[in-house]
A = this chain, B = another copy of it.
Amino acid sequence: MFLTRAAIIPLLSLAAGLCSSHARSADWTEQDLAAAAALRDRAIAGTSAFEHVESLTTEVGPRFAGSAGDAAGVRWALDRLAKLGFSNVRTQDVLVPRWIRGSCDVVLLGSSPQPLTAVALGGSIGTAEEGLEAAVLKVESFEALQKLDASKAANKIIFIDYRMERSRDGHGYGAAVRSRVHGPSIAAKLGASALVIRSVGTSNNRIAHTGTLLYAIDAPRIPAFALSNPDADILSRQLETGKPVKLWLKSTSRELPATWSANVIGEIPGRERPQEIVLLGAHLDSWDLGQGAVDDGAGIAIVMEAARLISKLERKPARTIRVVLFANEEFGLSGAREYATQLGEAAAGHVIAMEADIGVGPVWRIESQVAPESVSAIAAMHQVLQPLDVELGGNESRGGADVGPLRALGVPILELSLDATLYFDVHHTANDTLLQVDRKILDQSVAAYAAAAYLAATKQGDFGRLNAQSAGE
């Protein structure tokens, strides 16, 4: 049914439109548009989203994949979704890799040695027990590393001194993160003994940013670290003096065998077509250093609360709203991959997928990747979100990481862009705590997600399908 984009005769909505100030659309009845606007206004008046984050960070705390906190997070989510009245609350087992951070010491050697604030990159091997001492060679960027001469790099600690740009749409992250993901193996192939990068983050605090590296199969594995921005400045100024600069590095990071975690799923069943799914995703795991309040406690709260508000409506939407709290987004996207794998051809029943994983908000833009004939429906949705100061974006959205495997299966994407201006100050750091979560801003995000999800679940006809070429990686 959802594969047929029927031409809906908009008689009812047009007729209703004559005596209503609501936006008119061929895709929704006046009642649905009015209900979405009311839902939006109710959320703006105050939601329980902050309490969800408070509960998660108080009762669980850090939830790194495979840790005791991760398992506690799964129990918390099952309990919370059930208490909030979700249906079909269940887990889906997910095998996750297991990595232990251990200790981390980075010392700037010299007449008065200075400890520098650093963290191991996620997945890094540790150093030898006696640590690793070597001269430092600085490059300005990932591109400079790629062009570096192996004769210069051999046995050095390579330091990539690239500072991430701050922006509302977070585009600086993509440029900066390559050093973290691919830098270690490129440096290793050049003969370097270790890699140190400037944190992939925008904060001026002495708190370093972790995140996953990917070791290439054809490179030796070398330990890799990130310095906080002020510490990268300290190192950089030492190098600028022209004197030789050495670091001493020690880390006890190590891998353990893979273990089990779980996706946690709950639903608000559709009134007419429950087999048609509007997916609202967030991820349950967090990095080990912080509390996962912002990344992705806020996302969990936004999607959970948006769905809960919809469940309280007298008139439920035609389609099912499915909240999926994915396992292990941070350290390999295990939950999202498992979900898509299990889904297989049933992905056709997923009408659209949304995700909340860029912090607390506010939502500032609505974007999509839907079939061309559904773009006008996104514009109509935007009419309902506009009072929240939401702009209308384009139709090339790739959504977030957890909906990527669904997009590859042809599932259309609806993206509500959360304001990333301050996000990368706390993302992947110890500073990801409840103090960074603003209750009112979180409510605005809930308002946008609730209204958009409600509209997606009541739309006449679907959003088409994506073909592999446009949707793929």
Contact = CB atoms under 8 A, between A and B. Distances in A.
Nearest to A432: B206
The 9 tightest CB contacts between A and B, nearest first, are A230-B433, A69-B112, A68-B112, A206-B430, A58-B237, A204-B435, A61-B114, A230-B435, A206-B431
Interface of A: 54, 57-62, 67-69, 71-72, 108, 111-114, 117, 204-207, 229-230, 233-234, 237-238, 241, 290-291, 429-431, 433-436
Contacts of A206: 207, 290, 429-431, 433
Contacts of A241: 58-59
20 contacts: A58-B234, A58-B238, A61-B112, A61-B234, A62-B114, A68-B112, A68-B113, A205-B431, A206-B207, A206-B290, A206-B430, A206-B431, A230-B291, A230-B431, A230-B434, A233-B433, A234-B291, A234-B433, A234-B434, A237-B434
Contacts of A430: 117, 206
Contacts of A57: 234, 237
Given A204-B435, A230-B431, 5 more contacts: A54-B237, A58-B241, A61-B108, A117-B430, A233-B433
Contacts of A436: 204
Given A205-B207, A234-B57, A72 B433 contact: no
Contacts of A229: 435
Nearest to A231: B433
B60 A112 contact: yes
Nearest to A288: B115
A57 B114 CA distance: 11
Contacts of A111: 68, 72
A425 to B, nearest CB: 10
